[in-house]
Amino acid sequence: MEKLEGFLSSKLLPLSQKLQQNKVLAALMEGFIRTSPITLGIALITIVGNFPIPGWTDYLTSIHVYEHVEAITNGATGVFSLYVVYSLAFSYAKQLGTNERNAAIISLASFIMLMPQTVATLVMQDGKAVDSSIAALRLDFLGGQGLFIGMIVALVVTHFYAFLAKQNIVLKLPESVPPMVTQSLAPVFVVTIIFVCVFIVRVLFGLTGSGSIFQFFIDVINAPLNSLVASPLSIIIIMELLAILWFFGIHNAVLQGPLGAISMTMIVSNIGAYQQGQELPYLIPSVIYMGMYAAGFMGFVTFTMIRSKSAKMKQLGKLSFIPSIFNITEPVMFGMPIILNPLFFIPQVFAQLIAGFVTWGLATTILPISLNPTMSLLPWTTPTFIKMPFSGGLNYTILMVICMGIGILMWYPFIKIADKKEYELELAAEAKIKKEKESMDGVITEEIQA
């Protein structure tokens, strides 16, 4: 393992450091890190509100508490794209040397301007339900489904703003005007140009069948998957695509259409057959799905981080460990970050892919699984190491251990490399502070002696 770590450090670390010097990647990493307090802060409420006990959610609903849990969750993750747009634009503007607050607020406004602003609904007229629409923003576009578009908007608008600002297209105001007012009003012409461009983009995508840039992106991603049926290969393709898209900051919610259709087909068909004592029609695809899910379990990643030398990684590991046990991965994905971090591309993309084919091979040969599909109805926060043993007994537990082992082997060397890098940066920062302090003490001593 040490030889592997040394090889990866010598080959990948220089490449990763070089890529991270890119202004866009640097802004993306800083922007995501700045949003980590939100994902960490919401974790406890999310876990308690969706605790994996049968009937718990129904109980909270009956005492009118669950609606407030949802409100808190939606206020954080349900509109997470808004926070990412502002934070990313702010970070990128700092990299470009332009006004951070102006760039961030203009990017945020542009993002909302591109969004559909009506929601279809039904109203009662003369005792009949009639199609209508109301002025509203959809939470799915404000949350996970809008994340990638938000990233693009933040980067493009900020870059365009920085370019126009350098052209000195500003409103000239007298020197007597307070600086705060000048900074707010000076870029009015620049903002007008940006908003005209946003208007043109909105109109052009409005002419498409999708109706908006958000839906167009989702349709393009979903199109090749909508024709897939539940099969071992299709599950591997979709789960692998989820891992790849998540690395690039595209939330799993974007694929909820085809994934939801396939997963519900498997669950309903398997439960129906199980209740009638028949062979499960989607046994292998269901087993592969959970095997890949086990390989993507982030609990061992955060546990490894807790044992790091780096103070940053150790603290982030402690904060992210409990959420990761309950399948809440956003704190570590955005806090490390893993998203768009070149160092973590290999484990993020290939761990589940390898586990998928290993699961397929084992389940169809030497490790047959007897599955209880009703366990699929457990809450999504149910820890994997609880769900799989209860779902399939000993063989399923062995399969889970193997898949988790694949995940550990894939992630461990890269976590160690990241730890080494962060620890060296922290030591360098401490040495710099110590040197500055010693220099300051020397100056003070000389002044006293003088």
For 22-55, the DSSP string reads SHHHHHHHHHHHHHHHHHHHHHHHHHHHT-SSTT
pLDDT at 356: 95
Are the CB atoms for 313 and 305 separated by under 8 Å? yes
| pLDDT over threshold 80, residue 262 | no
pLDDT(100) > 80 = yes
Residue 202 has pLDDT above 60, yes or no: yes
Average of per-residue pLDDT across 57-66: 88
Ramachandran angles phi, psi of 338, nearest 5°: -90, -35
Report how far residue 150's alpha carbon sits from residue 79's, in angstroms, rounded to the nearest whole number.
Answer: 11
Q: How large is the average pLDDT for residues 257-284? A: 81
pLDDT, residue 127, reads: 66
pLDDT at res. 343: 86
Closest by Cα among 419, 445, 296, 272 to 356:
296
**Contact present, 52 and 67 (Cβ < 8 Å):** no
- Antiparallel, parallel or unpaired: β 128-135 and 118-125: antiparallel
pLDDT of res. 124? 66
Q: What is the pLDDT averaged over residues 90-116?
A: 92
pLDDT above 80 (res 255): no
Whole-angstrom Cα distance, residue 316 to residue 336?
Answer: 8
d(CA 250, CA 81): 11
pLDDT for residue 41: 83
More confident residue, 21 or 161: 161
| pLDDT score for 398 | 94
Residue 287 has pLDDT above 80, yes or no: yes
DSSP annotation of 131 reads: E
b/e sequence 307-328, b meaning 16+ C-beta within 10 Å: ebebebbbebbebbbebbbbbb
Predicted local distance difference test score (pLDDT) of residue 278: 87
The pLDDT value recorded for residue 167 is: 81
pLDDT at residue 114 in the model: 94
pLDDT of 357 reads: 96
288 and 396 Cβ atoms separated by less than 8 Å:
no
Q: Does position 258 have pLDDT exceeding 80, yes or no?
A: no
Q: Per residue in 148-162, pLDDT tens?
A: 899 999 999 999 999
Q: Which residue bears the tokens 């001593």?
A: 445
When mean pLDDT is compared over 130-139, 278-287, 323-332, 353-362, the highest value belongs to 353-362
- Asked whether residue 450 carries a pLDDT value surpassing 90, the answer given is no
Instruction: Please report the pLDDT score of residue 372 as a whole number.
Output: 87
pLDDT number for residue 294 = 93
- The arithmetic mean of pLDDT across residues 136-149, rounded, is 83
Instruction: Please state whether the predicted TM-score (pTM) of the whole model is above 0.95.
Output: no
Confidence of residue 4 (pLDDT cuts 50, 70, 90): low
Residue 122 has pLDDT above 60, yes or no: yes
CA distance 206 to 235: 33
Is residue 239's pLDDT more than 70?
yes
Q: Indicate if the pLDDT at residue 60 is higher than 60.
A: yes
Cβ–Cβ contacts within 10 Å for residue 141, how many?
25
pLDDT score of 42: 81
pLDDT band at residue 396 using 50, 70 and 90 as cut-offs: very high
| Residue 445 in this model has a pLDDT that exceeds 70 | no
| CA R_g for the chain | 26
Helices (H) and strands (E) in the chain, counts: 19, 2
d(CA 163, CA 98): 9
Torsion of CA 426, 429, 433, 434, to 10 degrees: 60
Closest by CA to 412, choosing from 321, 325, 301, 247, is: 301
What does the pLDDT average to over 357-377?
A: 90
Buried b (16+ CB within 10 A) or exposed e, 42-52: bbeebbebbeb
Rounded to an integer, what distance in angstroms lies between the CA atom of residue 404 and that of residue 296?
Answer: 8
| Residue 3 neighbours by CB under 8 Å, 6+ apart | none
Among the listed ranges 7-11, 28-32, 187-191, 202-206, which one has the minimum average pLDDT value?
7-11
Residue whose token pair is 């889970």 = 400
pLDDT confidence of 195, banded at 50, 70, 90?
very high
Q: Is the pLDDT of residue 326 over 60?
A: yes
Confidence class for position 186, pLDDT limits 50, 70, 90: low
The β-bridge partners of 125 are 128
Please report, rounded to a whole number, the percentage of residues in the chain having pLDDT higher than 70: 83
